[in-house]
Structure 1
Amino acid sequence: MLITRRLSLIVFAATLAGCATTGAPLSTATVGAYRETIDLDGKLSVNYIKDGRQESLTGNFSWEQRPGRIDVSLASPLGQTLATIAVTPEGATLTQADRAPRTAADIDSLTQQTLGWTLPVSGLRDWLQGYALGADGKRFAASPANNSVLTKDGWRLRFVSWQDEASAQPLPRRIDAERSAAGDIQDLAIRIVITPAG
């Protein structure tokens, strides 16, 4: 049970952090509303099948993004910090309270090191702001009228609700992401609910 819990925590952490770094960031020259600096809080739930068993995790996250760095803190539903992840161009570090930090050159290498396989997730830094790289290789800008896309790396995204639907470029409040397979994980489904600022 403890091993399953640790594996689930690593999948949870890697899912969130892995999304952070593997896609090329949007440029403000191509998308005027994209911000390099953001601070977000929210809730995350992950459901998947591994070894024929249904697994699920829920928790809270805090996301701090600056040019060249992303810091993610993961907490239990009751607020206990479970892990922190720091991602820079120099590498990725996963820290858990009861273990030595794990580091690697990038988040893909870190997931390979901790899980034995790479969790091929990309784009969350874009998803949190309502963007994605579509299967056609073009940038997708979500809106209430155009809220779903299949990404270049195989994710089915649906931007379900918005923080301020009436604004010129609304920010997502809830994002659902699904993928049929990621390594030996099947039917991976992620729900992200962003807490509105203020």
Structure 2
Amino acid sequence: MPKKLLALGALCLSLSACSTLQSPFSGSAAPSAQSVAPYREQIELAGRLNVVYQKNDKPESATVNFTWQQSPARIDVGLFSPVGSTLATIAVTPQQAVLEQSGKAPRSAPDVDSLSAQMLGWALPVSGLRDWLQGYATGEDGKRFVASPQHDSVTTKDGWRLRYVSWQDGAADAVPQPRRIDAERNTSAQADAVSLRIVLDPITPASAP
């Protein structure tokens, strides 16, 4: 009997050791350790955007729904009121950006961020969003930032502070996808201070890679 008990004890210790040596990325721990999905040049997204900005030295805010269609050569952004009416559309190509609003002549410019500030009253950082919406950015050190649930904030090269607040629901072993992104830019000019809260809808199969 003692020999059998000794053998059983050795077996338990062996199983315990195997369990201890298991990869920390296995099972439910995987999502918190993984970075976001590989970057996609072509993607369709939609969501809601809340912006707080300065107008005539007073804080203003707006909430809009948006659509985002991206390909290697073009970005199309639609901004809509909460009841569904179109507020503006923005088309961006390597040559120019064109912003259209109902009842106004289209405006174009090489710099889409400045154009949106002039037309909307607040800056929509389209050039940055191309990366941010997928969990990527260029940090202030010039290095590529890749978000994960454990590495969720960065200050960008152009002065935006990003935080990936939450992530899309999914299977335990799914690659993380951004759900809510907070972005804030403070500058020496108070009129240029803008903060954004972006909430993305779940990515549909059609927009998956």
For 2:182 and 2:188, locate their aligned partners in 1 and report how far apart those are by CA, in whole Å.
Answer: 16
For 1:86 and 1:182, locate their aligned partners in 2 and report how far apart those are by CA, in whole Å.
Answer: 30
Q: Is the 8 A contact 1:38 1:64 kept in 2?
A: yes
* The one of 72, 79, 82 aligned to 1:74: 79
Residue 186 of structure 1, CA deviation: 4.8
* The one of 174, 181, 185 aligned to 1:179: 185
Task: Give the structure-1-normalised TM-score.
Answer: 0.75
**Unmatched runs of 5 consecutive residues or more in structure 1:** 1-30
Task: Give the structure-2-normalised TM-score.
Answer: 0.71
* The one of 134, 143, 165 aligned to 1:138: 143
Residue 167 of structure 1, CA deviation: 4.7
Q: Is the 8 A contact 1:50 1:186 kept in 2?
A: no
Residues 1:32 and 1:160: Cα distance change in structure 2 (over 3 Å) = closer
AA aligned to 1:193 is V
AA aligned to 2:72 is P
Provide the alpha-carbon RMSD of the alignment: 2.6
Residues 1:155 and 1:109: Cα distance change in structure 2 (over 3 Å) = closer
- In the alignment, does 2:60 pair up with 1:55? yes
Of stretches 106-115 and 163-172 in structure 1, the one that deviates more from structure 2 is: 106-115
Of stretches 82-91 and 166-175 in structure 1, the one that deviates more from structure 2 is: 166-175
Question: Aligned to 1:170, what secondary structure does the other structure show?
Answer: coil
AA aligned to 2:199 is V
* The one of 177, 196, 203 aligned to 1:190: 196
Question: Aligned to 2:131, what secondary structure does the other structure show?
Answer: helix
AA aligned to 2:176 is P
Aligned ranges 1:1-198 → 2 under 5 Å:
33-108=38-113, 110-111=115-116, 114=119, 119=123, 121=125, 122-164=127-169, 166-167=172-173, 169-181=175-187, 185-198=191-204
For 1:96 and 1:80, locate their aligned partners in 2 and report how far apart those are by CA, in whole Å.
Answer: 11
Q: Is the 8 A contact 1:181 1:188 kept in 2?
A: no
Residue 164 of structure 1, CA deviation: 4.1
For 2:147 and 2:173, locate their aligned partners in 1 and report how far apart those are by CA, in whole Å.
Answer: 13
The CA deviation string for residues 90-109 of structure 1, in whole angstroms up to 9 with x for no partner, is 21100111111111233156
Question: Aligned to 2:47, what secondary structure does the other structure show?
Answer: strand
Paired positions, count: 167
The CA deviation string for residues 126-175 of structure 1, in whole angstroms up to 9 with x for no partner, is 10000111111111111111111111111110000111464564110100
For 1:60 and 1:32, locate their aligned partners in 2 and report how far apart those are by CA, in whole Å.
Answer: 24
For 2:196 and 2:85, locate their aligned partners in 1 and report how far apart those are by CA, in whole Å.
Answer: 21
For 1:145 and 1:74, locate their aligned partners in 2 and report how far apart those are by CA, in whole Å.
Answer: 31
For 1:41 and 1:130, locate their aligned partners in 2 and report how far apart those are by CA, in whole Å.
Answer: 15
Identity over aligned residues, as a percent?
60
AA aligned to 2:45 is L
